[in-house]
Structure 1
Amino acid sequence: MAVLRFTFCLLGAVHHAWAQSTYTFTPSEITFGANGFANWGAGTWPPSSVGEPLVPQSTDPETLSLPQQMDPNRIESTIQTLVNFGTRHTASDTTSPTRGIGAARQWLMNEMTELAKPSNGAMKVSMPCYLQPASPAHGMPITAQVCNVQVEVTGAVDPNRTYVYTGHYDSRRLNNSDNTGYAPGADDNASAVSIAFEMIRILAPVVGNTPPAASIIIAAVAGEEQGLYGSNFLAQTLKNASVNVQANFNNDIVGSGSNAPFSPQNQHTIRIFGAGTDYLTINASLVKEIITTGYQDDTPSRHLGRFIQEINAGASNVTEMDVALIYKPDRFFRGGDHESFLSAGFPAVRFTEPQEDFYHQHQDPRVQDNVTYGDEIEYVDFEYTARVGKVNLLSLWSIANAPATPQNFTYDTEIGFLASSLDDPPSNLENVIKLYWDVEADPLLDHYEIVWRPMSSQQWTHTLNVGLANTTLLPISKDNAVFGLRAVGKDGKKSPATYALAVASQYFG
């Protein structure tokens, strides 16, 4: 086998001389991981002695004890009760005590109130409503009340910073305007509501004694099937009140890992969909810059997905789950309640099971040509739903007790770039990156970390502790990696990363 030898230079430190080193290249065989993907490509390049390889952050024992309390039996009971209402169409009956969305939302209100009692008032239960006009073309045959049922926990340190869990409780048939026929909606979406109940139950005695640093909302929303009505009502209400929503965890169809095409790994995998630049609400010129500089995969929603991935990876012995971050806003020509938060300018992701079963979604329950259709409870795996709940609770509680995501992370366009005049200092021409950010007055904050990864890698690969400084210079080319900044708390909890925008150094004095 031929051996190729190259001599190259490593930058030991900025303004220092280049050091010579000899590298022996040995061609290697292509191997395959357990997921069947080939282990080749540029994922391990560029090499770097900067910082440390990133190891998923660990979780404290108290937090780890919370997801272990997820109860599959209670999840089954919640889903069965919701199925028993016959239909939960947004425009269905509101007068019957046993059937229709009116009975369903009153039961949700009663149950949330009961589950919240151990919080000693720290959990505020409410049912905000508004009148939605008829829209037959979108499945609303009549004007009807759209009511969300939600629990709010006020943060003890940064109450305006808020994290929102959503799962819609309405159901539908094949004809979305059919507001009377049987529509069980077990997987879509009683499964997500059952997780909401479990999180409320588990957190109630905790927040009564030790409230989270930031605020949490856990909401069962209505009107998803007809137009994301309830979630839009919630997101816009929060936006109008200038609430700093830093994440929406939207769960929709999270009841089974056993659908075809089946793999045993499916039962231990949850997909998270993270939107790209098309859902950013910032100035169009900044969106163009993000795309031009190669940060199109570094939107706040995708950083939120990376955060959930990392938190789960560090505690996967408890969750028994893998998190698959999908670089799409949602599934093929589909949508969900997270879009209401994205449209309001808030980071949001959607949790969905790994393989959906379209025989049991948006279908009239029936047997036709020996094929069974309908979203019945028998197609829900309660153990799997509980594992999805573990990932949500672990991530939600961790992020609400970490420092806020840093702001105004930027890099210098004059350092590490072409000369603009004969008077440019030679140090500006070194192929490096200089980064700046705002240092926040956050009582949770201990220090900041720069994280970075090769362009071909989905997850951060390296980290560097930069203390409480507001700038650093790294001997890494801007062309070959993407950079993020995250805040680390005094207890080790870390925020999601934020992406960098380019600015000229004169803006920083």
Structure 2
Amino acid sequence: MGTDDSGRPPTRPTRRTFLTAATAATAATVAVPALADPAAASGGGAPPGPGHPVRPQPPDRELRDLLRAVDQDRIEAIVRRLAAFGTRHTLSAQDDPERGIGAARDWIYDRMREYAAASGGRMTVELQSYVQQPASRIPVPTRITNVVATLRGETSPNRTYVVTGHYDSRASDVMDAVSDAPGADDDASGVALVMELARLMATRRTAATIVFAAVAGEEQGLYGSAHLAQQLKAAGADVQGMFSDDIVGSSTADDGTRDPRTVRLFAEGVPTAETPAEANTRRSVGGENDSPSRQLARFVKDVAENGATGMRVRVIYRRDRYLRGSDHISFLEQGWPAGRFTEPNEDFAHQHQDVRVVDGRQYGDLPEFCDFAYITRVARVNGAALWSLAQAPGTPKGVVIVTSDLTNNTTLRWRRGDEPDLAGYEVVWRETTAAEWQKVIPVGDVTQVTIDLSKDNVFFGVRAVGRGGLRSPVAFPRPGS
């Protein structure tokens, strides 16, 4: 027997394989290549088997126009204005027109209303407030206020995506509400990003709803974002993705290391809100790396690593950094997919420091230590993700992998979405040792498919496709009958 270019004997399929797809009314059979020697997959690239290699989703003209419009000068002006309020500590003055969190709140609210005025009524802005009773880091009853701009989707308004930055700041002592705490990097940078995207998207039409929120109380214990998440839950919103942009102002570490083209995206594994039984089921089928948050993170890489953003998204398989926690956790606790964007390197000497000069060196979280071009690129990453999510069909629901029969085939089924532009579905799969989806199989506008590929050997997922070619995040199946 001869050999191929690798020196191994060529693999010969011993049987022809087929993919079958069906709805209640139709059935189709599509011939696909047989799975070759699994060892061939270890050499890198897509493994042999049904489908074709997964490719990134290129930006369309509308997205390119949106990302080109992100204005670095506006982002810088917002960061500098927020820092100029002196302190934005949650316990600082709420009625001083020049200094404190109240002045910052009112300024953000006025700017957001200006943006909404250009939306033709599609964007609304509210001050979302409640009184937090004494609790951890809240010594007295304190009003917590989020500034929330909601851009209502036109065809799928209940499907919702959220992006936040926290506008409160802190000094070295988290209970010090008096000292200057400019909070340029942490987190005027995130708020500036959110506000700039709200400005740009206010004049554009989206299929799904996007919520742009500047939240308060983060440094004291994620109070504002927890309230926002609870309000969305009470309203019955279908939150299919959330991003917290927290400390996205610079790419320079305390040792001078720079990485201006990378942003980290933290994404948890086994979901925070899963019950022990659900977590055990996930572990039993090998789904620890396939939580909704990690599918969301894979989606971000797919749509944002392109020439239009100029950035690499480094996904970190953790809920957040050690000793840290950001506002995405409030959404994870409600059972929604969420992740945290943050810079690749951190200069801890300039974070959470009272403004002071030591040995001729100035310390403090000041605008002078921000890289505004970097914030602009991170804004483009967020813009690419939010736009692509809001214009594509939603993530498939009710996805089940049938495990009740002993068979070398794999049957998947799901509920059809109700989006008017839904064109159909794709099945994706990968080797169990691979971190990213490797192969994709278009299956059409169906709700069940059988693939001649063993569920024991690979991981499967399902994603929706719109008529314009935009794709949803992948849904990982649960075992069922």
Same-fold call, TM > 0.5? Answer: yes
Structure 2 runs not aligned, ≥5 long: 1-5, 20-30
What is the CA deviation profile of residues 253-282 of structure 1, one whole-angstrom value per residue up to 9, with x for unaligned ones?
Answer: 001112245555x20111110011151x24
Question: Which residue of 1 is the match for residue 339 of structure 2?
Answer: 349
How many angstroms apart in 2 are the aligned matches of 1:219 and 1:73? 21
* 1:461-487 deviation digits (Å, cap 9, x = unpaired): 111101012222223332332111000
Structure 1 or 2: larger helix share?
A: 1
Aligned to 2:26: none
Confirm whether residue 309 of structure 1 aligns to residue 301 of structure 2: yes
**Within 5 A, what are the aligned runs for 1:156-167?**
156-167=154-165
Q: Offset at 1:397? A: 1.2
Q: Could you tell me whether the CA contact under 8 Å between 2:271 and 2:335 is conserved in 1? A: no
Paired residues of 1:43 and 1:454 also in contact (CA < 8 A): no
Aligned to 2:265: 272
Secondary structure of the residue aligned to 2:75 is helix
Q: 1:7 to 1:432 in 2, by over 3 A?
A: farther
Note if contact 1:91-1:141 (Cα within 8 Å) is conserved in structure 2.
Answer: no
CA contact 1:269–1:324 (8 Å) conserved in 2: yes
Q: Which residue, 207, 212, 221 being the options, matches 1:213?
A: 207
Residue 394, structure 1, aligned to residue 384, structure 2: yes
Paired position in structure 2 for 1:194: 192
* Alignment partner, residue 13 of structure 1: 17
Aligned Cα RMSD in Å?
Answer: 2.4
Pairwise CA distance, 1:121: 2.0
Does 349-358 or 359-368 show the bigger shift? Answer: 359-368
Contact 1:486 1:495 in 2 (8 A): yes
Shift of 1:21: 8.4
Number of paired residues?
463
Amino acid at match of 2:208: A
User: Which deviates the most, 43-52 or 460-469?
Assistant: 43-52
Partner of residue 453, structure 1? 430
Query: In 2, are the aligned partners of 1:153 and 1:217 still within 8 Å (CA)?
Result: yes
Find the partner of 1:479 among 443, 446, 456.
456
Question: Distance in 2 between the 1:386 and 1:150 partners?
Answer: 21
1:20–1:480 CA distance, 2 compared to 1 (3 A) = closer
Question: What is the CA–CA distance in structure 1 between the aligned matches of 2:423 and 2:479, rounded to whole Å?
Answer: 26
Q: 2:242 is paired with a residue of what secondary structure?
A: strand
Amino acid at match of 1:344: Q
Match of 2:25 in 1: none
Assess, with a 3 A threshold, how the Cα gap between structure 1 residues 14 and 134 changes in structure 2: closer, same or farther. same
What is the alpha-carbon distance in structure 1 between the residues aligned to residue 295 and residue 275 of structure 2? 19
Within a 5 Å distance, the mapping from 1:311-390 to structure 2 comes to: 311-313=303-305, 316-368=306-358, 372-390=362-380
TM-score by length of 1: 0.86
**Amino acid aligned to 1:285:** A
- CA separation of 1:115/1:292 partners in 2, compared to 1, >3 Å: closer, same or farther? same
Question: Helix, strand or coil for the counterpart of 1:127?
Answer: strand
Q: Note the C-alpha offset of 1:245.
A: 0.7
Percent identity reads 41
Distance 1:46 1:90 in 2: 50
Distance 1:474 1:134, change over 3 A: same
1:450 and 1:12 map into 2 onto residues whose CA distance is 20
Partner of 1:435: 412
1: CA distance between counterparts of 2:442 and 2:251? Answer: 39
Q: In the TM superposition, what whole-angstrom CA distance separates every residue of 1:12-33 from its partner, at most 9, and x where no partner exists? A: 31599x98989999xxxxxxxx
**Which residue does the alignment assign to 1:422?**
none
Residues 331-390 of structure 1: CA distance to partner in whole angstroms, max 9, x if unpaired? Answer: 112101000000011111100000111111122222346664311111100000000000
- Report if the CA contact (8 A) 1:406-1:486 is conserved: yes
Who is 1:288 aligned against? Answer: 280
